[in-house]
């Protein structure tokens, strides 16, 4: 069981904190099951890109990782690091942390990592291929990427990504979709960025229902995609 559920539930909604806690717990437990992070990380180093509250960083430490580095920029700069730091102190954690943008990751500065986690981050990236190329250079064994993927009514098999100007410009956006790739776009981008082996671990559920919704609403839908990539 992961240690940090209490840090990711946020402030009480007032009416039903227990229900909220239970829902968050269930969501994160399911994510952990689907992601396929190795159970025993003894001897592994881990980079958690876009770590935010640090749930997955602390979980990797719990699984025995030798070194874990959590990096983030947008959320830590804009909303603060209170949840991350509270968990860090509570668990007397050795997880390292740096304010670093995914586009600035530099193998000469931070070194290589056996496992790189890119969870819920891809669709925030302004230049996804540039960021993935940097990640490819510092991934020694495995990169796990979890993201919303695009489900248009047709052309799902084309490598499509809606234009996304970056988080700092979200207020100006006309469309509410961010840089969500089709599954094909995600796997092609990973290959193009330098990963040799790319396995799809999870495709969006209720796919055909969502495609029908895309037709009715004239707006592409999205769902969860999980990919394992190896150098």
Q: Which of 121, 144, 185, 227 binds ligand SAM (CB under 6 A)?
A: 121
* Per-residue tokens: 115: 């496992």
Q: At a CB cut-off of 8 Å and minimum separation 6, what does 146 contact?
A: 31, 34, 35, 118, 119, 120, 202, 224, 225, 226, 227
Q: Which of 60, 61, 73, 145 binds ligand SAM (CB under 6 A)?
A: 73
Q: Examine residue 102 and tell whether it contacts ligand SAM (CB under 6 A).
A: yes
State the CB neighbour count (10 A cutoff) for residue 61. Answer: 22
Closer residue to ligand SAM, CB minimum distance, 124 or 228: 124
CB 118 within 8 A of CB 229: no
State the CB neighbour count (10 A cutoff) for residue 165. Answer: 12
Tell me how long the chain is. Answer: 231
CB-count exposure of residue 14 (10 Å: 0-12, 13-18, 19+): exposed
Secondary structure (3-state) at 47: strand
CB 159 within 8 A of CB 128: no
Minimum CB separation of residue 51 from ligand SAM in Å reads: 6
Among candidates 80, 200, 188, 73, which has minimal Cα distance to 126? 73
Q: Examine residue 227 and tell whether it contacts ligand SAM (CB under 6 A).
A: no
* Per-residue tokens: 99: 């304010």
Binding mask 1-40 vs ligand SAM (x if CB under 6 A, - otherwise)?
Answer: ----------------------------------------
Q: Examine residue 120 and tell whether it contacts ligand SAM (CB under 6 A).
A: yes
* Per-residue tokens: 195: 């990963």
Q: Examine residue 188 and tell whether it contacts ligand SAM (CB under 6 A).
A: no
Q: Examine residue 224 and tell whether it contacts ligand SAM (CB under 6 A).
A: no
Q: Examine residue 125 and tell whether it contacts ligand SAM (CB under 6 A).
A: yes
Q: Examine residue 228 and tell whether it contacts ligand SAM (CB under 6 A).
A: no
Rounded to a whole number of angstroms, the CA Rg of the chain reads: 18
Q: Which of 119, 132, 143, 144 binds ligand SAM (CB under 6 A)?
A: 119
Q: Examine residue 128 and tell whether it contacts ligand SAM (CB under 6 A).
A: no
Give the separation between CA 183 and CA 85, rounded to whole angstroms. 35
Q: Examine residue 72 and tell whether it contacts ligand SAM (CB under 6 A).
A: yes
Minimum CB separation of residue 134 from ligand SAM in Å reads: 10
Residue nearest to ligand SAM (CB): 50
Instruction: Please give the residues from 145 up to 184 whose contact with ligand SAM meets the rule CB under 6 A.
Output: 167
The binding site for ligand SAM (CB under 6 A) comprises 49-52, 55, 72-75, 101-103, 119-121, 124-125, 167
């Amino acid at each position: 069981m992961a240690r940090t559920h209490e840090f990711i539930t946020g402030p009480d909604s007032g009416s039903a904190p227990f229900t909220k806690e239970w829902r968050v717990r269930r969501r994160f437990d399911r994510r952990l099951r689907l992601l396929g992070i190795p159970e025993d990380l003894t001897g592994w180093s881990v980079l958690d890109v876009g770590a935010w509250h640090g749930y997955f960083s602390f979980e990797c430490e719990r699984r025995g990782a030798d070194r874990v580095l959590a990096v983030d920029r947008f959320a830590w700069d804009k909303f603060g690091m209170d949840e991350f730091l509270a968990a860090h102190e509570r668990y007397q954690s050795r997880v390292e942390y740096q304010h670093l943008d995914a586009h600035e990751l530099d193998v000469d500065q931070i070194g290589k990592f056996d496992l790189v986690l890119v969870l819920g981050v891809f669709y925030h990236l302004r230049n996804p291929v540039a960021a993935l190329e940097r990640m490819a250079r510092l991934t020694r064994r495995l990169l796990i990427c979890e993201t919303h993927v695009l489900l248009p009514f047709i052309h799902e098999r084309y490598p499509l990504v809606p234009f996304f100007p970056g988080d700092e410009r979200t207020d100006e956006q006309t469309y509410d979709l961010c840089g969500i790739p089709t599954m094909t776009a995600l796997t092609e981008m990973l290959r193009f960025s330098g990963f040799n082996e790319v396995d799809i671990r999870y495709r969006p559920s209720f796919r055909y229902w969502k495609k029908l919704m895309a037709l009715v609403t004239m707006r592409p839908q999205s769902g969860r995609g999980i990919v394992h990539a190896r150098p």
